[in-house]
Structure 1
Amino acid sequence: MMKKYIFVMLFCISFINGFSQEYRPVDTADYAQRKAFVDRYKIISDNYSKTLKAKYPGTTGKELAKNYSEFQESFRKEIKNRDYVFNSGFTEMLRICFEKLKTKNQNIPDDIRILVAKDNAPNAFCIQDGVFVVNMGLFNWIDNEEQLISILGHELGHKLLSHSENWQKKLIETEQNSKTQVSEIYSSKINKSEKAFKLYKNQIYESGIFRRKNESAADSIGYVMYRNTGLKKSEYINSLRNLQKFDTISPTVVKVETYHRLFSSAEHPFKEKWLKMEDFSAYDYSNFKERLNKDSLSTHPEVVERISLLKKNFPEISQDEVSVKSENKDFLALKKTARFEILPNFYHSEDYGLGIYTAMQFLQDGEEESYYKNWLGKNFAKIYEARKNYNLNRYLDRVDPKNQSESYRQFLNFMWNLSLDDIKNIADLYAQKSP
């Protein structure tokens, strides 16, 4: 499924000319630091596994330790794969923000270790073993350091309340209980499928309720820790409002003339057949009957609901105040970096189709043309290799009319309409234009 933030990224920051001419992607040549972190993390994770077994004797403890062991093994592979960066100013900024929280909240543990992910989604999370992960993309959606601190406080709330551990424990207990119920369903002589679906539905709904309560609880404890710092209270709410934009801003439309401007040359003129759209008009989606309620499946309460609950529980933040843009030069520099890392991050994660579509959005507005044309060419070169090797599905979505905007469907049709030679010509065109 496509990633929604590629449609709205252009909304969140105004661009600044002149920066990209000197800009180089964040350095990932940090082998020694990565190896040191992985080696240290192996010791930490082994100790945490022992703690889980001691805390929950029997099957539950063994399953918790097993699940965690599988997770941390995959996590270490991601670190080795350079999915996280060490040589960047992000880590120092986050360390400073953590210190502001820690100074006024002695319940925050000392063993928090910070990692910065090469991920464009505005997200952060704290693993129960003490590793705190913050995506670069978060910096594209917040206005100041106060909002960053508020988000860190929320995620620390999850850790202090052991939400991750409790969630895993609940899953294991649910699975154990389900075995008995499944056995009973299997022995039934009538309505097996309906009984099985009811069991599945109830499990899904219960897990949604459980996790929504966790989000609200983390909001509350996170706010208390944030309030203790003496920072502007309204920025805690403003951080939620900014993150709400991720889900609510209307998609950015890539115009037809943008295709003509970017993919036509004297040697290889634009072909109108490239824009031919697949016709899904005959399919009636109204006939689709949804058996699971989306609201019950939601794990994150609506932001409006979360804000309302915070204002109810903490009346001192009931007055709305406009968010203040940061004047901190270091913070502003990181916002610039996060923006310029959008394309390198897509490239690193092999999301070449998304990289092309996002570059088109930037170029449509004339932003830093030499920089984004360079990345446009790099991504087309990778798409050419994939098409030649018959594995394009791995890097480019198929059209999904029910879940994609018209603009993104137009883009996907365009990409799938291109012949192998067409892709090669475009890749070569931008290879020549690259500095």
Structure 2
Amino acid sequence: MFKKVLIANRGEIALRIHRACKEMGIQTVAIHSTADENAMHVRLADEAVCIGPPSPAESYLNKAAILTAANITGADAIHPGVGFLSENAEFAEMVVEHGHTWIGPSPAHLRMMGDKIEAKEAAKRLGIPVVPGSDGGVDSEEDALRLAKEIGFPLIIKAASGGGGRGMKVANSINEVAEAYNICRTEAKVAFGDDAVYMERYLGEPRHIEVQLIADGQGGCVHLWERDCSVQRRHQKVIEEAPSPALDQAAREKIGKTVTDAMVEMGYASAGTIEFLYERGEFFFIEMNTRLQVEHPISEMICGVDLVREQIRVAAGHKLSFKQEDIKLNGHSIECRVTAEHPETFMPSPGKICDYHAPGGLGVRVDSHLYTGYSIPPYYDSLVSKLIVHGDSREECLKRLDRALGEYVIGGIQTTIPLHQKLIHEEAFKSGDYDIHWLEKLMGLK
């Protein structure tokens, strides 16, 4: 097992990884920008190295600075967390070349699933259901118009290197295809440096269902059931729950087996998530996230598994410590992503935390790096906390979540806690009858 792990991230996920390492007897190295010198994971780590100024490009995305920090501290391995360089194949290769272990999947798998076109082709080969669409990229406006007639409407044009809801345009008729195609290519070039796009059928009222998995690359792969991430605003997840209220046991077992069989065939090793759109009883592959997910705690809560610990073990060459039959579905869990934003306008609200009280009690977990006196910097993602609750049933879980949100105090800034309090009392959410467009319609954004 590793003696020392460098955590190449910040915020709540860096703290989550630090805690897993400490429980495994592994020393930790925190990296940080000058803006994060007082961050909780920096204060708790065994060692800390400042790698640059606040700008992510000069700090958390600075490959050379991170590798230098790993070298000078003698770290055995690097855990990239989520975001930043967590799915960067080039960085993963550099980590290995410099004598460290990459706590994540192979660079080949990062590349395969990082390109949306190649990922879709791989999904087809592996027997994972996909949305009807173009076979590969669409190279011209003429091809776009021809393919549109074959695919049908509505359809969506997506950037091959896209993510986070950027580089996507919907066309509802043949008259809208050319403009949507050209706009999408332009946006993709600006945002990702790659104007390659592809097309697929646009599903009108789907749910966003994803399957959490962990594999060891030695023939072992286990799914931790599914999560429902359909409560979204502009393609950004707001609330997630596990299991999905839309699936029955037969459906979740079938898609879980499909995913694990595919990952064994692929030789995948590490944590990963296969994301689907689900409509009228059918699953359609969206993408694979080749890393830990922000919402991984709800899978941990319903399965009793420490995903970060298992991810570290697999990277160290161990086989999975459990089999599929060991993973029992236990109750229900919901996660609210609390962000430093106005609950109605979503304007960023960085600033100093003047008062902080986290909720507690049975079945309540808070993953957060906040503390009284901490100043939230304006340079990074606005996520400041994940409130996770677990109950024996969805009904119990909702009551517990309502209670926990009422206890949660984050003073000095605006947060989305009031938004979550509102959403969980909406009839559609209480009944579980919602889709990926529900929140935006509720807020008048559609």
TM-score band, normalised by the shorter chain? under 0.3
The structure where strand makes up a greater share of residues is 2
Q: TM-score, normalised by structure 1?
A: 0.28
RCO greater where, 1 or 2, for CA within 8 Å and sep 6 or more?
1
The structure with the largest alpha-carbon Rg is 1
The structure where helix makes up a greater share of residues is 1
